[in-house]
Amino acid sequence: MKYPKAFKFQLKINPAQRRKLSRFAGCSRFVWNNALALQKQRLDEKRHCLSYNDLAAKLVGWKKEDATSFLKDAHSQPLQQTLKHLDRALKDAFNKKNPKQFPKFKKRGCGDSFRYPEGFKIDEHNSRVFLPKIGYVRYRNSQSIEGKAKNITVSRELDAWYISIGVEHNPVTMPHKNKSAIGVDMGIAKFATLSDGTHFKSVHSFRRAAVGLRYYQRCLKNKKKFSNNWRKAIKKVRLLHNKISNVRKDYLQKTSTAISKNHAVVVLEDLQVKNMSRSAAGTKERPGKNVRAKSGLNKSILDQGWGELRRQLEYKQLWRGGKVIAISPQNTSRRCSSCGYIAAANRKTQARFKCISCHFTLNADLNAARNILAAGHAVLACGETTTLSRSVKQEPTLSAATAA
Ligand SMILES: [Zn+2]
């Protein structure tokens, strides 16, 4: 199996290139929004969505119209890619088994990006890339690119522009350099606890910045839309969002690298984060229970990025020749890792585990991590690596999440 990997670099651009990049991103956004509006209208009229080929034909038409002839300035392939992405997003939204969010209209400066599927050249030696219709652009050469480049995505984050080079790797035939297996318990108080006793503390990057964020968001409300002060305030909000996301990304990357480097087999609970972070408020007819406590837990889960950690571990293990096993989270926090006795009473507090059968005591997260590892060994012994039944993690005290 070949697997994808991406290398991201910041671009070093001059004002003329910056204008071009902005314009190209603007064209992509225009194409996305126009095509999405078209599809939405068809859906409202109870008609089928247009296919990618129909949309591509529409794009040719738009280029010929006077009002939208500016689309001719941009390279045609990134615009076609945008239509392909929209097509994918719509198909994902109507996927009956695992529906994703319906695609949204794009706003200027939010998630600006476009992709070249071919036509680019990478000149690593001189730290530059050739982007069709833009020319050679220099980049901060922070790492060497391994594998065959398949595409380049250009994106903007605040005022900086980046390229992400997607490559395809050949399968790893070398086994992982370590032989150990480890169980990982993901939690609220501690982000992750390993079965060997190592733990990674919470980042709570969002909570730390939430106060500042609330302040600037309140400022925004009192300002006249599109005034200079409104623009300044919106920039502050975006800066803060960007900072939060960078702190989080950096921490997640470091954590997943540390775990993946040291262990050939990583065992995790198969958590449905989407379920757990669903709105706790409920509906008017059926209001949710423990709304405050649950929304605290939701915020923590989203803040912690459990799903993202799993995703990163999965691909990093693939690179290193290791593997990830997902096991059912049922009873992992209630089972005694010493004698196997299962009871809710075993875990009276968030932090401590005390077996009522054999009186074994241990840190509750560590006890869970050991159970997770044992379940992983059982899966390995059976010779199967498929995931077991999915269920939701039982956290005994939700109030601990809000207190954190
Ligand atoms: Zn016991």
Residue 23 has pLDDT above 60, yes or no: yes
Tokens representing 191?
């982000």
**Which is it for strands 135-139 and 3-12: parallel, antiparallel or unpaired?**
antiparallel
Quote the ligand 1 centre to 371 CA distance (angstroms): 12
Query: Which of 355-370 are b and which e, b meaning 16 or more Cβ less than 10 Å from the residue's Cβ?
Result: beeeebebebbbbbbb
- Which residues are designated catalytic? 185, 269, 365
Which pLDDT score is estimated for 46?
93
Q: What is the pTM of this model?
A: 0.67
Quote the ligand 1 centre to 402 CA distance (angstroms): 30
Mean pLDDT across the stretch 117-123? 94
* Residue 276 CA neighbour count, 13 Å, CB half: 26
Q: Spell out the alpha helix ranges (H) of 225-353.
A: 228-262, 273-276, 291-304, 306-320
Quote the ligand 1 centre to 134 CA distance (angstroms): 66
List the shell of residues around ion ligand 1, using CB closer than 5 Å: 336, 338-339, 341, 355, 357-358, 360
Quote the ligand 1 centre to 185 CA distance (angstroms): 19
Q: What is the pLDDT of residues 163-207, one digit of tens each?
A: 999 998 766 678 888 999 999 998 877 889 999 999 988 776 666
Q: What is the pLDDT of residues 274-286, one digit of tens each?
A: 555 444 445 444 4
Going by pLDDT thresholds of 50, 70 and 90, the confidence category of residue 91 is very high
Phi, psi of 196 (to 5 degrees): -90, 5
Tokens representing 253?
């990357």
Spatial neighbors of 43 by CB under 8 A, at least 6 apart, are 49
Instruction: Tell me the sheet residues that pair with 190.
Output: 201
Residue 292 has pLDDT above 60, yes or no: no
Of 330, 309, 339, 310, nearest in space to 375 by CA:
330
Instruction: Tell me the sheet residues that pair with 116.
Output: 152
Quote the ligand 1 centre to 365 CA distance (angstroms): 15
Q: Which residue has the tokens 């129909």?
A: 54
Quote the ligand 1 centre to 179 CA distance (angstroms): 28
Do 237 and 220 meet the contact criterion of CB atoms below 8 Å apart?
Answer: yes
Instruction: Compute the mean pLDDT over every residue in the chain, rounded to the nearest whole number.
Output: 84
Going by pLDDT thresholds of 50, 70 and 90, the confidence category of residue 403 is very low
Q: What is the pLDDT of residues 207-245, one digit of tens each?
A: 667 777 788 888 888 888 888 988 888 888 888 888 877
Q: Which residue has the tokens 């034909």?
A: 57
Do 396 and 333 meet the contact criterion of CB atoms below 8 Å apart?
Answer: yes
Instruction: Tell me the sheet residues that pair with 277.
Output: none
Mean pLDDT across the stretch 93-114? 87
Q: Which residue has the tokens 């609330």?
A: 214
Which pLDDT score is estimated for 241?
80
Going by pLDDT thresholds of 50, 70 and 90, the confidence category of residue 265 is very high
Element containing residue 38 per DSSP (H, E): helix 15-44
Q: Which residue has the tokens 């006249």?
A: 224
Which pLDDT score is estimated for 164?
95
The pLDDT > 90 percentage for the chain reads 50
Q: Identify the residue with better confidence: 115 or 223.
A: 115
Do 82 and 32 meet the contact criterion of CB atoms below 8 Å apart?
Answer: yes
Residue 60 has pLDDT above 80, yes or no: yes
